[in-house]
Structure 1
Amino acid sequence: MGRIMAIDYGKKRTGIAVTDPMQIIASGLCTVETKTLGDWLKDYLSKESVETIVVGEPKQMDYTDSELGGVITAFAKALHLQYPSIKVERVDERFTSKMAFQTMIDSGLNKKQRRNKALVDEIAATIILQSYMDRKF
C-alpha cells in the first residue's frame, strides 16, 4: 500500500502533506517553492511509494474556478501524464487556508509564527488530505 499525497498548489509556494504507508494518519510534510515543485516531486516519488496524489481544487463560492483554477487543472493533468501509475484526484479546497490559520490560533502559535505563510500552506495541504481521507474511508 502506498502513501496518499496532497498538494495545495499556489503561485509562489506549494504545501505538501502525506499519509503514513498504511494511510491512517495525514501529516504535513513541507512547503516547496512552486517553481521547483516538478523537481521536488520527481525526487520524492523516486524514493517513496505514492498511490494517489490529491490536488486541491480552488473554487469560488458559486463553484466557478478561482484565479488559479486553469493553472491547477493543467498541473493535475500533467501529473497524470508524467506519473500514469499514480491516481490523481481533485478535492475542493475552499476555506482550507482560513481553516489552517484557525488551526494555528487554536494550537497557541503567536502572531509572528502565524505569519509563516509556508506553514499555512503545509497545514492547508494536510486539511485537503484529511478531507479526502474522510470522504474515501
Structure 2
Amino acid sequence: MKYLGVDWGFIKIGLAVSEGEISSPWGVAIVQKNSLGKAVAKIVSIVKKERIDQVVIGKPEGKMGEAVEKAAEALRKQGLSVVLADETLSTRDAKTVMLEVGMGRKVRKDDNAMAAAIILQRYLDEKP
C-alpha cells in the first residue's frame, strides 16, 4: 500500500510519501495553500500521479483542526481514502530532526514536508 502524509498548515501544506508500511516516509513537496479548492486539486493530482492508496492528514486541536476536517471531507468527495491522525508536536519534532542532520536555517523554514513524514511515520507505527 502507498501512503501520502499531509501536514496541513495555515500557509503551506507539507506532503510525504511511504511506499509501504515498513518503509520510512520521505518528504516530497510543499504546496502553497491559496485556497481550499486549489490545494485539494493539487493533492488529488499528486495522489493520482503517484498512485496513492491512503491519505493520512495530521489533525491539530482547535480552529486549525476544523479546517483540516473540511479539507479531509473535500478530499473524500473527490473519491480519496482519507484518515486523520494526531499531529501533536510534529512540527517541533521536524525542526529538531532537521537541526540534528545539519540542515541550514533557510531549509528549516520549510519544515512542512518533514512534519508530514513524521505524521505518516507515527501513523504507520501505530497501525495494527
Can you list the C-alpha shifts for 1:90-114, whole angstroms capped at 9, x where unaligned?
Answer: 1110100100110111111233433
Alignment match, 1:101: 95
Name the CA distance, whole Å, in 2 between partners of 1:93 and 1:43: 24
* Contiguous gaps of at least 5 residues in structure 2: none
Which residue does the alignment assign to 1:10?
9
1:45-68 Cα offsets, whole Å, 9 max, x none, are 332211110011102xxxxxx231
Q: Following the alignment from structure 1 to structure 2, what is the Cα–Cα distance between the partners of residues 6 and 122?
A: 9
Q: Secondary structure at the match of 1:67?
A: helix
* CA RMSD between the two structures: 1.6
**What's the % identity of the aligned pairs?**
28
SS at match of 2:107: helix
TM-score normalized with structure 1 length: 0.82
Higher alpha-carbon Rg: 1
Question: What is the aligned counterpart of 2:72 among 69, 72, 76?
Answer: 76
What is the TM-score when the length of structure 2 is the normalising length? 0.87
Q: 1:49 aligns with which of 48, 51, 71?
A: 51
- Residue segments in structure 1 that go unaligned for 5+ positions in a row: 60-65
